[in-house]
Chain A
């Protein structure tokens, strides 16, 4: 009886897993088949690359890929700089009002940039950041989450290393660069993976800030391309969607273990 129950449970777990990947599997299958075959689930239909050709010619994808790449790297660079410095100060330096400041920083975990779109748009406009890659990335650079993570990581560095480096003649920045940054490498890796997947996928704020193809990232480009008004058929939409998610999906499948650990490390502390 228990054995039967256990088999049923395993079967259920597998069924849920299949349901979970089915949207992706269907889209991947449809992307390689003619729309009429995809609609009729004609499993014996011939495979074709026609949908990818149509999708690729339908929008400046190369530009979108480039924009997303620039966006993700500039956000990463900004976050690395700001969060490293602030995390170090919060972890290791005695500053007046530090605790109050830290609570203020943590508040940003709840005051999401997504919610403040109305006024952030006004700010971006006044700073001349509208329709620029920097404008998409700027609100996310001083990430409270990143500051929090780096503070936790730096707190675990033994004081002796810090003092040894100071005896050797390192200044505050020297100690940070030579001792703390290398020691926190696993945390950086985790944060990089989380940040890349977040900003590769972000949509609402980029939609608001951009208004030309020279700045639109992939998600916004895809939403315009696949809009019902454009009357693109489902096979072509699938092809475009697969194209957009492929790099991140490949990255995920290759670094799967790291990815999962990254989210764990990022979330658990």
Chain B
């Protein structure tokens, strides 16, 4: 390309386009560099680490292929933790979504004191999980905890909610549901407020009951919101583990241990990075599947974006 040619309009245009593309790249570089450092590189490095043995002073770490994964599947603790996490997801996701929907319907209806309701439901969302766990200790402590005192009024025996394997995981689930429901309510509330009032009036003229109106009109219109909330709830069922540090530390005998907590423990308490990395890879695969699900479903309803 010679200088004289650049005088021609289409070439000037091409130059301008190239200049803008370079600007674009310059604008993207800082963010991409940070993402590469703290998301992409660590993801790849995790896979890499998971394929090597744990190095000690005598035995330097060496390539072992999928051995860490095999060891993981033989590890009874890992199996228990995986089952715990599946139960945790299976309990907290549907209950908090249904509660969120009911709360939103209440906060959006003509109930007295509904602004108080909205504030009360939403408050747990702004509290740190660590602080929330401290608040809940008050409820669960055997003997003088609130639950025990209420139980005592009805002659129920004292229950050590956090201290016995049968109840510890459920006690942890309750805190998660309490924390999440109000957060998800907000998204439903927003969606409810976009439903035109005419629809309700039309349904009333047709003689439809409130229940029929909710089920046949409102719920289908809330489907995109439910998808969004569902994906968030799935991510949270991996992510929300802070309260374990205060309430149970995964115990008693691993009965309330969740996978991210076990990853933390393996890496930073047992110093077994390869095992923690192998678990992380499994979690990333699950999260990747969730991502693929969301992208596919969203593609189908492009109007949503």
Q: Say yes or no: A147-B31 contact (C-beta < 8 A), given A9-B111, A26-B146, A116-B42.
A: yes
Residue interface bits A114-126, CB-to-B below 8 A is 1, else 0: 1111111111000
Within residues 177 to 227 of chain A, which ones have a CB less than 8 A from any CB in chain B? 197, 200-204, 207-208, 218-219, 222-223, 226
Name the one of A10, A115, A208, A238 contacting B283, with C-beta atoms under 8 angstroms. A115
Let me know if B35 is at the binding interface, CB within 8 A: yes
Residue interface bits A127-148, CB-to-B below 8 A is 1, else 0: 1000000000011011010010
Q: Say yes or no: A95-B24 contact (C-beta < 8 A), given A116-B46, A119-B46.
A: yes
Number of A-B contacts (CB under 8 A): 264
Q: Say yes or no: A119-B287 contact (C-beta < 8 A), given A20-B123, A94-B20, A267-B186.
A: no
Contacts of B121 in A (CB 8 A): 16-17, 20
Q: Are A93 and B49 in contact (CB under 8 A)?
A: no
* Stretch of B68-76, B80-88, B239-247 contacting A (4+ beta carbons < 8 Å): B239-247
Closest to A172 in B: B23
Complex formed: what's the CA distance from A22 to B123 in Å?
Answer: 11
Complex formed: what's the CA distance from A189 to B123 in Å?
Answer: 20
* Stretch of B5-13, B129-137, B214-222 contacting A (4+ beta carbons < 8 Å): B129-137
Contacts of B111 in A (CB 8 A): 9-10, 13
Name the one of B119, B125, B149, B263 contacting A117, with C-beta atoms under 8 angstroms. B263
Q: Are B124 and A20 in contact (CB under 8 A)?
A: yes
Name the one of A117, A119, A234, A263 contacting B141, with C-beta atoms under 8 angstroms. A234
Q: Are A23 and B263 in contact (CB under 8 A)?
A: no
How big is the B interface, by class?
A: 35 or more
Q: Are A108 and B182 in contact (CB under 8 A)?
A: no
Complex formed: what's the CA distance from A260 to B114 in Å?
Answer: 14
Q: Say yes or no: A204-B241 contact (C-beta < 8 A), given A10-B112, A13-B117, A40-B144.
A: yes
Q: Within the complex, what minimum Cβ distance (angstroms) separates A52 from chain B?
A: 15
Q: Are B149 and A94 in contact (CB under 8 A)?
A: no
Q: Are A249 and B127 in contact (CB under 8 A)?
A: yes
Complex formed: what's the CA distance from A24 to B138 in Å?
Answer: 10
Complex formed: what's the CA distance from A144 to B126 in Å?
Answer: 21
Let me know if B190 is at the binding interface, CB within 8 A: yes
Q: Are B129 and A203 in contact (CB under 8 A)?
A: yes
Q: Are B182 and A20 in contact (CB under 8 A)?
A: yes
Q: Are A86 and B30 in contact (CB under 8 A)?
A: yes
Contacts of A89 in B (CB 8 A): 23-25, 27-28
Q: Within the complex, what minimum Cβ distance (angstroms) separates A16 from chain B?
A: 7
Contacts of A96 in B (CB 8 A): 21
Closest to A115 in B: B283
Q: Say yes or no: A95-B28 contact (C-beta < 8 A), given A115-B284, A222-B131, A267-B186.
A: yes
Let me know if B54 is at the binding interface, CB within 8 A: no
Q: Say yes or no: A112-B134 contact (C-beta < 8 A), given A101-B28, A204-B264.
A: no
Q: Within the complex, what minimum Cβ distance (angstroms) separates B31 from chain A?
A: 4
Let me know if B171 is at the binding interface, CB within 8 A: no
Complex formed: what's the CA distance from A94 to B16 in Å?
Answer: 11
Q: Within the complex, what minimum Cβ distance (angstroms) separates B166 from chain A?
A: 21
Q: Within the complex, what minimum Cβ distance (angstroms) separates B68 from chain A?
A: 12
Q: Are A263 and B183 in contact (CB under 8 A)?
A: yes
Complex formed: what's the CA distance from A186 to B192 in Å?
Answer: 22
Complex formed: what's the CA distance from A269 to B198 in Å?
Answer: 24
Q: Are B35 and A118 in contact (CB under 8 A)?
A: no
Q: Say yes or no: A110-B130 contact (C-beta < 8 A), given A20-B124, A86-B31, A118-B263.
A: no
Q: Within the complex, what minimum Cβ distance (angstroms) separates A12 from chain B?
A: 8
Q: Within the complex, what minimum Cβ distance (angstroms) separates B272 from chain A?
A: 10
A-B contact pairs, 14 of them (CB 8 A): A81-B30, A85-B30, A93-B24, A110-B287, A112-B238, A115-B239, A117-B280, A118-B276, A119-B42, A144-B35, A222-B130, A241-B134, A249-B123, A252-B123
Sorted nearest first, the 8 A-B pairs with minimum C-beta distance are: A142-B34, A95-B24, A119-B42, A201-B128, A86-B31, A93-B24, A17-B120, A23-B135
Interface residues of B (CB under 8 A from A): 17, 20-21, 23-25, 27-28, 30-35, 37-43, 45-46, 49, 103, 106, 111-113, 116-132, 134-139, 141, 144, 146, 149, 178, 182-183, 186-187, 189-191, 228, 235, 238-239, 241-242, 245-246, 260, 263-264, 267-268, 273, 276-277, 280, 283-284, 287-288, 290-291, 305
Question: Other CB < 8 Å A-B pairs besides A138-B37, A264-B190, 15 of them?
Answer: A10-B112, A14-B113, A24-B135, A27-B135, A30-B138, A81-B30, A82-B31, A93-B21, A95-B25, A116-B280, A142-B39, A201-B130, A203-B129, A219-B242, A263-B187
